[in-house]
Amino acid sequence: MFANLLKTLLGPEPKDLTPSDARLAIAALLVRVARSDNDYAAAEIEKIDRMLATRYELNAAQSVDLRKQGEELEKEAPDTVRFTRAIKDSVPYVDRVSVIEALWQIALADGERDIEEDALLRLVANLLGISDVESASVRKRIAAS
pLDDT per residue as tens digits for the range 28-46: 999 999 999 888 989 999 9
Average pLDDT over the chain, rounded to an integer: 87
Separation CA 18–CA 9 (nearest Å):
12
Average pLDDT for 118-141 = 93
Residue 9, domain member (yes or no): no
Residue span of the structural domain in which 78 resides: 16-144
39-76 pLDDT tens trace: 898 999 999 999 999 999 999 999 999 999 999 989 88
Residue 100, pLDDT above cutoff 70:
yes
What number is the average pLDDT over the span 14-35?
85
Per-residue pLDDT tens over the stretch 75-89: 887 678 877 887 888
* Residue 58 lies inside a defined structural domain of this protein: yes
CA distance 55 to 24: 12
Find the mean pLDDT for residues 90-110. Answer: 89
Question: What is the Cα gyration radius of the chain?
Answer: 14
Q: What is the pLDDT of residue 85?
A: 81
Domain assignment present for residue 2? The answer is: no
Q: What is the CATH number of the domain that holds 98?
A: 1.10.3680.10
Element holding 142 (H helix, E strand): helix 132-144
Q: Is there a domain that residue 1 lies in?
A: no
**Domain count for the chain:** 1
Task: Say what the pLDDT of residue 2 is.
Answer: 55
Query: Which pLDDT value is given to residue 45?
Result: 95
| Domain-embedded: residue 8 | no
Cα 92 to chain centroid, rounded: 15
* 8 Å CB contact between 71 and 31: yes
